[in-house]
Amino acid sequence: MPTFTFPTNPNPLRLFLSYSSENKAIAGQIKTYLENKFCFNVFVAHDDLTPTKEWQDEIIAQLEICDSLIAIVTNEFNISDWTDQEIGFALSRKIPIIAVNFGDVPHGFIAKFQALPSRKIRENWDIQGLCFDIFRLLTAKPDIKEKIFDGIIFKYGQSISFSEADDNTSFVMNFSDQYSFAQKNKIIELASENSQIYLCFACRRMLDNFIIAQRDELNPESIEKYREKVERGF
């Protein structure tokens, strides 16, 4: 019996997680949340390297294509030669680097960057809060901002339930004034193609407000198609 495969973001923001092997559990949690919530493509060596690949070559290949590097700064990180080399590679490419303080402060070339603090909720790391902090900092980078917004709009279009559509639409609407002309129209087009969005009352309220506020930048044909889907209900 064939299995259904969900589409993947065709042009994701690519992040490279730099960390010591002792901290791979934290790296895995960060990767999972950033990919699921924001549709990023996050490279972590212990998950993404396979025995058939020369791992040093693959790490270099990923450093050559990533849009940003996230450093998980711990005591183990600061004494690792490999993480220093990864940081140096990222600095040479002049891509954004975000350091996260997980018990130690950045050293060497990234000491000039103020590290994001990590926090705990009871005894567990607040991975969700940290990932939102990373997202916020990345959206402030003009060179990668559009790719980030493309990702969350893509995720909104893939909503598979009313609850998920409500959450995704609400999140997308937080940045409505910052989208490009094409992205604003994509939001309406995707709404017309996904019944979980156009049949969801909460989503329709948000989209109605969006259409009113952004009407001058929306294609009338896209609005009409969306309205027809809402009225017909299928």
Is pLDDT above 70 for 2? no
CB 171 within 8 Å of CB 201: no
Identity (one letter) of the amino acid at 96? P
Let me know how many helices (H) and strands (E) the chain has, helices first.
12, 7
Question: All domains of the chain, ordered by start, with CATH?
Answer: 14-142 (3.40.50.10140), 161-232 (no CATH)
**pLDDT tens digits, 37-77:** 999 999 998 777 765 668 888 999 999 999 999 999 888 87
In this structure, what are the phi and psi dihedrals at residue 121, rounded to the nearest 5 degrees? -110, 110
Q: What pTM does this model have?
A: 0.89
Rounded to whole angstroms, the Cα distance separating 192 from 186 reads 10
Q: Residue 68 forms beta bridges with which residues?
A: 15
**pLDDT tens digits, 136-179:** 999 999 999 999 999 999 999 999 999 999 999 999 999 999 99
End-to-end CA distance of the chain: 28
